[in-house]
Amino acid sequence: MREFVVAVVGATGAVGRMMLQVLEERNFPIKDLRLFASPKSKGLKLPFKGEEIEVEVLEETQSFRGIDIALFSAGAARSLAYAPLFARDGAVVIDNSSAWRMDPEVPLVVPEVNPHAVAQHKNKGIIANPNCSTIQMVVALKPLHDVAKIKRIVVSTYQSVSGAGQKAIEELMNQVRAWCAGEILPPPKNLPQTIAFNCIPQIDVFLPNRYTKEEMKMIEETRKIMEEPELRVTATTVRVPVFYSHAEAVNIETEKKLTVEEAIEILNKAPGVIVLDDPENKIYPLQIEVAGRDEVFVGRIREDFSVECGLNMWIVADNLRKGAATNAVQIAEILIQKYL
């Protein structure tokens, strides 16, 4: 089997470290692995398959020749600047940031939903990985859309701190420690407000339309991935004091009526979805239980009695795995199986 030269850009971050773990777990055929991060990480070594690999500092003057696939998670500014340089030197870039997601020439891919879009990597040498909250929602909703045609989506998210990076994980830990010790809480630095024992209805910055950027990402990305540019979607995104996994309360209105039983049957057959829905026995997806898993979990499926054809559900996935690293590596697997 052919093996590939793979680069991970942003390898020291929460997503980058998970990329290494997922590449190793899935035994991705790697000939050589190159790791890149900021000057802060110069000399740092990261473990991969029993070896220690030294992190390189990302510099614009470098040559990136010889790299087949580059997995980027070093923020949108680095993706804007460096993805074209890696692509120029022959790599296909799979980018986890928002930098390229809405570029009409760049495919935005969730393998369970629109794997065919990977073919468009030929345009710019770049494939975009959607936002974590979008990924888990479309994995669960696309199979329902295929049967009943979704007319409108209303989503509220309950997003873990790991979505905001390694420093936000430490921020929640430090605030909880201080609270338990009866100390004054350290002021928020990486999140907009205190996160310990609190929910923050702000993820990313506010836009002139009063939505946050995270909310608008969910709306626009969902339309692009589902290839439904007019789909009505609205979102409220909330940070909650949970370390790993994002949860979403989702309401859909469909053209054709779906009973709860029909929806469960469709989701039971859907790729990458696990239905956990036995409320009488207190069975529904929980963030702490879904952490570490690659599937999207759906539960609390029930009719929305306020409209003719509507359903409510609770969708949970590990944001660093299916929401980022696993989705990116699945895209890389399609690339090597079909295109490289």
For ligand NAP, the binding residues (CB under 6 A) are 10-16, 37-38, 40-41, 58, 73-76, 78, 96-97, 129, 131-132, 163, 165-166, 323-324
Q: What x-and-dash track marks residues 64-83 binding ligand 3JN by CB under 6 A?
A: -----------xx-------
CB 33 within 8 A of CB 46: no
Distance CA 292, CA 169 (A): 16
- 120 makes contact, choosing from ligand NAP, ligand 3JN, none, with CB < 5 to 8 Å by partner type, with none
**Cβ atoms within 10 Å, residue 192:** 16
> Which segments within 24-66 are labelled E, that is strand?
30-37, 45-48, 51-57
State the catalytic residue, choosing from 116, 145, 246, 309. 246
Taking the least distance from each CB to ligand 3JN, the nearer of 295 and 318 is 318
Distance CA 51, CA 45 (A): 9
CA separation, residue 97 to residues 80, 127, 282, 334 (Å) = 9, 11, 36, 20
* Contacts for 181 with CB less than 8 Å, ≥ 6 apart: none
* Contacts for 206 with CB less than 8 Å, ≥ 6 apart: 212, 213
- 139 makes contact, choosing from ligand NAP, ligand 3JN, none, with CB < 5 to 8 Å by partner type, with none
Instruction: Indicate which single residue of 7, 164, 218, 266 sits in contact with ligand 3JN (rule: CB under 6 A).
Output: 164
* Residue closest to ligand NAP when measured from CB atoms: 13
The HSE-up count of residue 83 (CA atoms within 13 Å, CB side) is 27
- 217 makes contact, choosing from ligand NAP, ligand 3JN, none, with CB < 5 to 8 Å by partner type, with ligand 3JN
Taking the least distance from each CB to ligand 3JN, the nearer of 217 and 321 is 217
Q: Contact between 163 and ligand 3JN (CB under 6 A)?
A: yes
In whole angstroms, the minimum distance from the beta carbon of 58 to ligand 3JN comes to 16
- What's the token pair of residue 246? 């994002």
Q: Contact between 131 and ligand 3JN (CB under 6 A)?
A: yes
- 38 makes contact, choosing from ligand 3JN, ligand NAP, none, with CB < 5 to 8 Å by partner type, with ligand NAP
CB 97 within 8 A of CB 120: no
Q: Contact between 159 and ligand 3JN (CB under 6 A)?
A: yes
Active site residue 180: no
Beta bridge partners of 312: 251, 302
State the catalytic residue, choosing from 132, 145, 199, 309. 132
Q: What x-and-dash track marks residues 93-112 binding ligand 3JN by CB under 6 A?
A: ----xx--------------
Taking the least distance from each CB to ligand NAP, the nearer of 72 and 284 is 72
In whole angstroms, the minimum distance from the beta carbon of 147 to ligand NAP comes to 27
Interacting residues with ligand 3JN between 187 and 216 (CB under 6 A): 203
- Residue of 21, 17, 9 whose CA lies nearest to 67: 9
> How many residues at the interface with ligand 3JN, by CB under 6 A?
12
Active site residue 121: no
- What's the token pair of residue 21? 């773990």
Sites of contact with ligand 3JN (CB under 6 A) = 75-76, 97-98, 131-132, 159, 163-164, 203, 217, 319
The residues annotated with a catalytic role in the active site are 132, 246
